Amino acid sequence: MPGLQSKTRPTLSRVRYRVLRMAFFLAIVTYLDRVCIAIATPFIMQDLGLTLVQMSTVFGAFTLAYSLFEVPSGWLGDVIGPRRVLTRIVLWWSAFTMLTGAAQGLRSLVAIRFLFGAGEAGAFPNAVRSFSQWFPARERGMANGVLFLGSRLGGAITAPIALVLIQRWGWRISFVVFGVFGIVWAVAWYRSYRDRPSEHADVDREELAWITQDEETPNRQRPTSKDEPTPWRALLTSPNLYAICAMYFTFGYGLYFYFTWLPTYLVRELRFSMVAGGFFSALPFLLAGAANITGGWSTDVLARTRGLRTARVVLGSTAFFVCGMLILASLVVPSAVAKALLLALALASADFALSACWAVCLDVAPRHAGVVTGFMNTFGNLGGLVGPIVVGVMVDRLGSWTLPLYVTAGVYVAGALAWLAIDPNRRIDGVT
């Protein structure tokens, strides 16, 4: 029957799912390279003679560079497309992942990690930018969920893999091994991906109609910022953008505790063995991966049935608030196992909103998704820069992990409030 193509799923090509698989593996590789340093931290500190504060500086070097280069890399994705930009990004960060193993002291390690962060910046904005071209609005929440499932799976499998590599060959070789995965991905991405579905030989007319169903003329490829200038004034004067950035700052602040200090906290403070510590370091990412899928599905369903405010704002604010409460609860319970479990559930709660975080950027500026997600992720990583430094300094000065975790819980509650200031129905680029 006429008109069914825009209402039912196509029955032939599924090329957009190949794009999603590549994005999924991108996220895994991203977090393999990023989280391995957290597992190697005790060995690096011992080998190079670094203090907690000095190691915080190393963590901060990555997140500072990552933050500074997010918007430029996201903008490049809008202008020249994710195919070329992501290839450059992954090759760059893979090279500096390998070079991490060559560090001889604090200065060289800080420099390498800064350049690593500069290279990796823009990976997720460009992946999400590809979704704005390859998925209709009704599938973007789930697509983001799959993407961030990959990131959490990467975080989960890094701990056991890194521990095996470190115990067998040392921490330096482990970084070389992790860097190889990125090179393989970059080659496969450049060969298989196209910036526009209409340019891909395997996309049939039915799938193209499905992908472009949100446009007024569904058989024509949607316009992108390649065809129009970036509305910088509208973006930089939008309260919506600042609310999104403030919300994601709080997310990054808490998230980077899990990337950086959680293994050390589990082993040194909670007295877990290296094996148990490795398990409880991986558990938050496993639970968060499941939360990303369910959260992505939930935000899509709520968007169709209850509207965007419920799907994004109510879901996001509730998830952040529950996360903060779970962190507070971990400080009250006496059992080390209960503390570790509550911290794992806290990350899962925050990640339940992660698809909504990225989908709201597509809601408010779909034609400039690279720039908007770049801004958001810049502030998320500024939070990731501040968080580990605050934790490291507090633990070093106070000799206690309690106050830093109270602060982290409070930051997540502030994020729940920031969510309430976001209006997903108001377009940042001035289009209604």
Average pLDDT, the chain: 85
Q: Which of 30-39, 199-208, 213-222 has the highest mean pLDDT?
A: 199-208
DSSP 198: G
Asked if residue 165 lies in contact with residue 406, where contact means CB atoms within 8 angstroms, the answer is no
Q: What is the pLDDT of residues 59-103, one digit of tens each?
A: 878 878 888 888 888 788 888 888 899 999 999 989 998 999 888
Write the secondary structure of 24-88 as one string of H (helix), E (strand) and C (coil): HHHHHHHHHHHHHHHHHHHHHHHHHCCCHHHHHHHHHHHHHHHHHCHHHHHHHHHHHCHHHHHHH
Burial letters for 248-278: b for 16+ Cβ neighbours within 10 Å, e otherwise? bbbbbbbbbbbbbbbbbbbbeebebeeebbb
Within 10 angstroms of residue 213's Cβ, the number of other Cβ atoms is 14
Q: What is the pLDDT of residues 295-321, one digit of tens each?
A: 988 998 999 899 999 999 999 999 999
Q: Which residues contact 325 (CB under 8 A, 6 or more apart)?
A: 409
In order of start, what are the domains of the chain with their CATH numbers?
15-214+231-419 (1.20.1250.20)
DSSP 195: S
Q: Which residue has the tokens 């000799």?
A: 399
Within 10 angstroms of residue 61's Cβ, the number of other Cβ atoms is 21
Q: Where are the alpha helices (DSSP H) in 101-197?
A: 106-120, 123-134, 137-169, 171-192
